């Protein structure tokens, strides 16, 4: 299952989340520059449990190096697809958690999740001499927080069936629950010495993400972060929207609603719309012209039900104007 996006909109631009993604990309470019020296680079900046448990190994590293590796390991990746997979998950789930915590608290939250995921891996693989790298533990913490904040949100998910892409909406509690169950199964069935994936870092990050979220929500956001929030308020609705449609049994036309913001009323906008209809899901582009108002109807010719004679009805989308995305 490949997550495409969630259906819970965020009110603010995720400046911290996007910055973290950018920093990971920069680190990856630095990795590539190491060439054949990457193994040594990963041993210094990755998290190696043996560096903390075996004295003759730890003696080669300074105190600063031993401490900073709990942060630097989460910005390194084992390859292009490792990086893309992690950053895509962070892109989908991170913005909503940042929305709830505020920008500054989210930054500390992310780093804490990553560091505690590293501690989890270290404690359960104390003598491993294999470097652990990757943002997966920190992102697991983000997913744990998302589960608590938005358990009934829907995750638009791509399931490739042979060569046919099939899009379905999976409840967040089910999507993340299946993901966590897979981590547990893989952790139980693998050995630290032979496994190339730090399953216990994922599990630790997830559990600590839930605990840290509960703790962070006890404390109000500080004024500086609230000020930044006013500056990062979104003016556009999400480029991709899931539209719920309806239609009477004998009516070939279908009816739904599309959400735009007041800013988009002035500028106009283009959206990618996903319509779940039975076992079929359709993606297509919709142009909303400038000057559109609340209650205006967009007619999309030929996108309704197919008639027995081969003709098709139309799809009518009613415009809803929101102050912020999806609100």
How confident is the prediction along the chain (327 residues), in pLDDT tens digits per residue?
A: 788 888 888 888 899 999 999 999 999 999 999 988 999 999 999 999 999 999 999 999 999 999 999 999 999 998 999 999 999 999 999 999 999 998 999 999 999 999 999 999 999 889 889 999 999 999 999 999 999 999 999 898 887 777 767 778 889 999 999 999 999 888 877 654 444 578 889 999 999 999 999 999 887 665 555 556 566 777 777 777 778 778 776 788 888 888 888 888 888 888 888 776 554 567 778 899 998 889 999 998 888 877 777 788 888 999 998 865 444
Say how many domains are in the chain.
Answer: 2
CA distance 100 to 105: 9
Looking at 231, 263, 279, the residue that finishes a domain is: 231
CATH of the domain at 11: 1.20.1540.10
CA distance 176 to 183: 11
Q: Are residues 122 and 262 in the same domain?
A: no
DSSP class of residue 312?
B
DSSP 20-74: HHHHHHHHHHHHHHHGGGHHHHHHHHSB-THHHH-HHHHTTS-HHHHHHHHHHGG
Tens digits of residue pLDDT in 247-280: 776 788 888 888 888 888 888 888 888 776 554 5
CA 78, distance to chain mean position in Å, is: 19
Q: Are residues 273 and 174 in the same domain?
A: no
Tens digits of residue pLDDT in 19-30: 999 999 999 999
Looking at 210, 231, 252, the residue that finishes a domain is: 231
Structural domain of 249: 240-322
Q: What is the pTM of this model?
A: 0.79
């Amino acid at each position: 299952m490949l997550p495409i996006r969630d259906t819970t909109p965020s009110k603010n631009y995720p400046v911290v989340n996007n910055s973290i993604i950018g920093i990971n990309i920069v680190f990856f470019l630095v990795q590539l520059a190491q060439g054949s020296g990457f193994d040594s680079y990963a041993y210094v900046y990755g998290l190696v449990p043996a560096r903390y448990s075996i004295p003759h190994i730890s003696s080669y590293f300074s105190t600063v190096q031993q401490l900073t590796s709990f942060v630097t390991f989460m910005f390194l990746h084992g390859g292009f697809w490792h990086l893309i997979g992690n950053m895509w998950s962070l892109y989908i789930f991170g913005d909503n958690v940042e929305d709830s915590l505020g920008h500054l608290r989210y930054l500390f939250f992310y780093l804490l999740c990553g560091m505690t995921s590293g501690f989890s891996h270290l404690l359960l693989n104390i003598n491993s001499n294999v470097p652990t790298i990757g943002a997966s533990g920190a992102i697991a913490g983000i997913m744990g927080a998302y589960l608590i904040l938005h358990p009934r949100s829907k995750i638009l998910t791509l399931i490739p069936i042979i060569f046919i892409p099939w899009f379905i909406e999976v409840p967040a509690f089910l999507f993340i629950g299946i993901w966590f169950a897979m981590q547990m199964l893989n952790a139980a069935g693998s050995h630290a010495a032979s496994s190339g994936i730090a399953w216990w870092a994922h599990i630790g990050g997830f559990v600590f993400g839930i605990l840290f979220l509960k703790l962070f929500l006890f404390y109000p956001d500080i004024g500086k972060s609230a000020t930044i929030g006013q500056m990062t308020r979104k003016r556009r609705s999400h480029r991709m929207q899931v539209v719920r449609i309806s239609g009477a049994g004998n009516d070939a036309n279908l009816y739904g609603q599309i959400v735009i913001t007041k800013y988009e009323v002035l500028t106009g906008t283009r959206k990618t719309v996903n319509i779940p209809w039975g076992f079929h899901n359709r993606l297509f582009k919709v142009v909303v012209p400038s000057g559109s108002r609340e209650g205006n109807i967009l007619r999309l010719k030929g996108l309704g039900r197919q008639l027995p004679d081969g003709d098709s009805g139309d799809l009518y989308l009613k415009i809803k104007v929101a102050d912020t995305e999806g609100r």
